[in-house]
Structure 1
Amino acid sequence: MTIARPLRAQPRQERGTARLSVGFVLLPNFTLCAFANFIDVLRLAADEGDRSRQIKCRWEVLGDARAPVRSSCGILIHPTAPFDDPARFDYIVVVGGLLGALARRSETVDAYLKNAARLGVPLVGLCTGSLALHRAGLMDGYQCCVSWYHHDDFLAQFEGLRPVSDRIFVVDRDRLTCSGGASSAHLAAFLVERHLGRAPATKSLHIMMIDEAAMGHTPQPVGAMEFKAKDPIVRRALQLMSENLDVPLPVTELARLLKTNKKTMERRFQAELGVSPLNAYLDVRLDHALYLLRSTERSIASIAAECGFCDSSHLSRMLKRKTGLTPLAVREEALPEAA
């Protein structure tokens, strides 16, 4: 297990030149990826070259310096500043992670966030950080971006939430929320562009090997079937399919993992979606292939391999059978939208 060293505070005169300042609140079992993507966009925009000085942007991790916060992968992050005046930041960013960890509430964190809201400091929720804001009563009347993967879980556990799970982030007045992962980098770039301009935002994303900034209305990469299905067995099976694209699992193995049998799965898929589990699995793989064809420049062969097809010819045959289009035709259709 690696323990991250505390970030060294910058000299006061250097911090005073910052045009964008962010305070981070890390919740127990937060997602390291969401935090790292967001803060790296700030870091790369803050200075010339790759020197990482907090000049144009500054940031602090808030909390008790004696109590590091454990991420969901076990990495520990030490706070660099206490919960003091939130008004010294342009944004307070709450980074969440594992859904079960939200059961452990912190009165200190809730009080700090409520004080920030009273002072008019915009609040940002990354991953399940948006749910911590909702739990503190700070999302009433606001739209809230959540991951498609936990859409129904959020509705079941958080009454009154207005979830949006078909976009990568949502900006609703002074509440900004995103589904986590790579979308955190895009939300951070949105804020960098707002405060520093487009060039620093583009520079950050390019250094991070992200081709271009995505807007909030960009859809989350997910097929439609997950939203249609209400049967819990079918939904969990579709999630397993989405997690095992390159080497598709046999239906009997899916049934075993879900503690049911093949006949029961086939009956429930037919009743819920009107297709067999095998055909549903093919649709999930083809939906992901369509997403990659439209949104990336990766070779057709590599996309075919990632989506569990023998080769590009196999993908082409299956795709044409479903959509009437070849992979090249799909890309040509997507070009006007990207222009």
Structure 2
Amino acid sequence: MAHSDHKRLKVGFLLAESFTLSAFANFVDVLRLAADEADRSRPILCDWDVLSDTMNPVRSSCGVRVSPDTRLRDAGTYDYLIVVGGLMSEETGLSNAMITFLRTRAAAGTPLVGLCTGVFHLQEAGLLAGYRCCVSWFHHQDFLDRFETERPVSDQIFVVDRDRLTCSGGHGASHLAAFLVTRHLGQSAAIKSLNIMMIDNALGGDRPQPGQSLARQPKDPLVKRAVLLMQQNIEVPLTISALAGRLGTARRTLLRHFEADLSSSPSRVYMDLRLDRAQSKLTNSDASIPEIAQLCGFCDGAHLSKTLKQDRGFTPSQYRAAKQSQDLLSNT
């Protein structure tokens, strides 16, 4: 893509192998729609490149491949360098050349952005030391397991900390892109992009992430953040007092908000999340019942069996057997 000195926002993308296509596409589409006077995809106001050290097509997690535009050694000056992550394994990191490039540009003052699990790659490269960073609630425990001393933010859609911007992924990428478009091109350009993408409003980074589904979706921001904390602490559940403390509110206030928003107590919602998680693991994994019990915050298999039987009318063994029978019938 040809560069011009008149561009008001220039972005370079570095795609990890098995990157998340939706995060990349959502971000770049906001730029595309903001870059032109209408929906004609002319890069009048914005410019963006996919950078690579090899120029080989990069495979996304869904199998679609994206061809890079520019070699790292030919890269121009950018307002932001954006790392798009995806599936996490030993084979899906950034190349040494990409890491060296990022470190060099960061030392020169170029802001860095991590989309989806791009935050893992930036952390591994030592480029988030001393910064707050945003991680999807889904990968919260993965992040803690890999970086034991770090405490990521997992109840916001994106976090801006000086010259580091990190995003939980998904639709959050659109809102982070809109934040940058607003900063460089103005709010009207950001609104236009989101409206064309059928997104009603630009959301600030402090908006809660969507999480594991509940029968009733919370609308109260405090309740949303409480539910996200519950989801992040399934294996070792927090007390309701500890939950309130993490949220900076009183226990009685938290109880009142849950009752008003969900007509339920925090304890009831927490138990539903743990039992839902247990049922999901019974269906989608080969883990033993005692293992699932520990993963979902129960003392042992007997504790899980008793609770599930009292609450939902069946034991883990009965539930797993019924699901297996159902799957067999559906395949015949």
**TM-score, scaled relative to structure 1:** 0.68
| Aligned residue in 2 for 1:81 | 70
**What are the residue-to-residue correspondences of 1:1-339 with 2, within 5 Å?**
9-10=1-2, 12=3, 15-64=4-53, 66-84=55-73, 88-101=77-90, 104-222=93-211, 223-224=227-228, 225-230=230-235, 241=276, 251=279, 254-259=281-286, 271=299, 276-277=307-308
CA positional deviation for 1:110: 0.6
1:127–1:179 contact (8 Å) kept in structure 2: yes
| CA spacing shift, 1:103–1:160, aligned 2, 3 Å | farther
CA positional deviation for 1:161: 2.8
2:51–2:75 contact (8 Å) kept in structure 1: no
Deviations 1:26-45 (A, max 9, x none): 01000000000000000000
| CA spacing shift, 1:277–1:219, aligned 2, 3 Å | farther
Deviations 1:296-321 (A, max 9, x none): xxxxxxxxxxxxxxxxxxxxxxxxxx
2:16–2:94 contact (8 Å) kept in structure 1: no
Q: For 1:27, give the aligned amino acid.
A: A
Where in structure 1 do 4 or more consecutive aligned residues deviate above 2 Å? 84-87, 101-105, 158-162, 222-225, 237-242, 253-281
Identify which range, 131-140 or 166-175, moves more after superposition.
131-140
Deviations 1:269-319 (A, max 9, x none): 5549999458989xxxxxxxxxxxxxxxxxxxxxxxxxxxxxxxxxxxxxx
Q: For 1:151, give the aligned amino acid.
A: H
2:153 and 2:199 mapped to 1: Cα distance?
24
Deviations 1:103-129 (A, max 9, x none): 645110110000111110000000111
2:22 and 2:32 mapped to 1: Cα distance?
15
Q: 1:170 aligns to what SS in structure 2?
A: strand
Q: 1:144 aligns to what SS in structure 2?
A: coil
| Aligned residue in 2 for 1:288 | none
| CA spacing shift, 1:238–1:129, aligned 2, 3 Å | same
Q: For 2:286, give the aligned amino acid.
A: K
Q: For 1:127, give the aligned amino acid.
A: C
Task: For structure 1, list consecutive stretches of 5 or more residues without a partner in the other structure.
Answer: 1-8, 243-249, 282-339
Q: For 2:231, give the aligned amino acid.
A: E
| CA spacing shift, 1:39–1:104, aligned 2, 3 Å | closer
| CA spacing shift, 1:163–1:106, aligned 2, 3 Å | same
CA positional deviation for 1:100: 1.5
| CA spacing shift, 1:163–1:36, aligned 2, 3 Å | same
| CA spacing shift, 1:254–1:159, aligned 2, 3 Å | closer
2:130 and 2:60 mapped to 1: Cα distance?
30
CA positional deviation for 1:82: 1.1
Q: For 1:73, give the aligned amino acid.
A: C
CA positional deviation for 1:56: 0.4
1:95–1:128 contact (8 Å) kept in structure 2: yes
Q: 1:99 aligns to what SS in structure 2?
A: coil
**TM-score, scaled relative to structure 2:** 0.70
CA positional deviation for 1:159: 3.7
Number of aligned residues: 259
CA positional deviation for 1:229: 1.5
CA positional deviation for 1:162: 3.2
CA RMSD in angstroms comes to: 3.2
CA positional deviation for 1:228: 3.0
CA positional deviation for 1:142: 0.3
2:194 and 2:310 mapped to 1: Cα distance?
38
Identity %: 49
Q: For 1:227, give the aligned amino acid.
A: Q
CA positional deviation for 1:78: 0.5
CA positional deviation for 1:264: 7.9
Deviations 1:179-235 (A, max 9, x none): 111000000000000000000000000000100000000001123431232259xx9
